[in-house]
């Protein structure tokens, strides 16, 4: 049985501990901030055995070396980005499966935010850690990739089962919602969700995790096929990569 423990780090990052109760294996998904990660381990009484990195940015891999020194844990990261993942021990590639305790993880290469970004999918538990690729009502900025790459990456994630629980690495949802309603004002599922998000945030609650099905219904970055979105952008019938690129461009200037 896998358990996820979620907590806040830095300004708006989330830390996640993933724990396999059968073996005691415990992973930190990325290492945004050492102090809160160690506090979370202490709170749960878990021993850190793994770090699973999604990408090289400092708010994701900045705590690798300190935690590795302290815990002698194994650092897993993308083979194609190995030189930028501090302390990497195990290099993984797209489609590769590896054992995490008694569970099985699957690696998905999802470039776009960075060229070496990966996601971790645990099919049996129905959970995915997507880093800065997919956010609730948003997606990562294209720092190192093309709209086409990101569009393919998001499609890969959207091919997971609807009920998959999606852990994204930042609480950006309120700002994403403010943008989403401008490009899909007539999406009723989005309107309902925005009301829920406002309530959650007003109560100091996280909007993460989300799910694949919820994003498919409400996130403009995975809705390039939506006639409503295409209409607002003046791109009815346009290529979906172009619609995605224009949506991303508008968000960058929002
Ligand atoms: Zn990042
Ligand atoms: Fe980040």
* CA torsion through residues 14, 130, 114, 81, sign: positive
Q: Tens digits of per-residue pLDDT, 143-154?
A: 999 999 999 999
Q: pLDDT value at position 195?
A: 98
Q: Is 242 helix (H, G, I), strand (E, B) or coil?
A: helix
**What's residue 86's pLDDT?**
98
- Note the pLDDT tens digit of each residue in 184-239: 999 999 999 999 999 999 999 999 999 999 999 999 999 999 999 999 999 999 99
Ligand 1 mean position, distance from CA 228 (Å): 30
Strand order in the sheet with 50-52: 2-9, 13-20, 26-29, 50-52, 74-78, 90-92
Average pLDDT over residues 101-105: 98
User: What are the residue numbers of the active site?
Assistant: 55, 57, 59-60, 113, 132, 170
Q: What is the CATH number of domain 2-252?
A: 3.60.15.10
Quote the percentage of the chain above a pLDDT of 90.
Answer: 100
To the nearest whole percent, how much of the chain has pLDDT over 70? Answer: 100
Pairing outcome for strands 13-20 and 26-29? antiparallel
How many A from CA of 205 to the centre of ligand 1?
22
pTM summary value? 0.98
Mean per-residue pLDDT, 53-75: 98
| C-alpha–C-alpha distance, residues 226 and 235, integer Å | 10
pLDDT at 189: 98
Q: Rounded CA gap, 34 and 232, in Å? A: 44
In the chain, where are the structural domains located?
2-252
Closest CA to 136 of 105, 168, 110: 168
User: Token digits for 102?
Assistant: 């008694």
């Amino acid at each position: 049985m896998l358990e996820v423990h979620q907590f806040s780090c830095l300004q708006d990052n989330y830390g996640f501990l993933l724990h396999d109760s059968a073996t005691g294996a415990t992973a930190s998904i990325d290492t945004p901030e050492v102090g809160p990660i160690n506090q979370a381990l202490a709170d749960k009484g878990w021993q850190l055995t793994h770090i699973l990195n999604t990408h090289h940015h400092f708010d994701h891999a900045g705590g690798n070396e300190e935690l590795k020194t302290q815990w002698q844990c194994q650092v897993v990261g993308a083979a194609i980005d190995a030189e930028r993942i501090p302390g990497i021990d195990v290099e993984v590639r797209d489609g590769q499966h590896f054992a995490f305790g008694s569970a099985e993880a699957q690696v998905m290469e999802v470039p776009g935010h960075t060229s070496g970004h990966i996601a971790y999918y645990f099919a049996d538990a129905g959970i995915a850690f997507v880093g800065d690729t997919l956010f609730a009502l948003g997606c990562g900025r294209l720092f190192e990739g093309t709209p086409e790459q990101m569009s393919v990456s998001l499609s890969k994630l959207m091919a997971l089962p609807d009920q998959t629980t999606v852990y994204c690495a930042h609480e950006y949802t309120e700002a994403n919602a403010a943008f989403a309603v401008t490009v899909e004002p007539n999406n009723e599922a989005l309107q309902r969700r925005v009301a829920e998000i406002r309530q959650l945030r007003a109560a100091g609650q996280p909007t993460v995790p989300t799910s694949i099905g919820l994003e498919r219904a409400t996130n403009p970055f995975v809705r390039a096929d939506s006639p409503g979105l295409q209409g607002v952008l003046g791109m009815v019938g346009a290529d979906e990569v172009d619609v995605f690129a224009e949506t991303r461009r508008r968000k960058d200037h929002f």
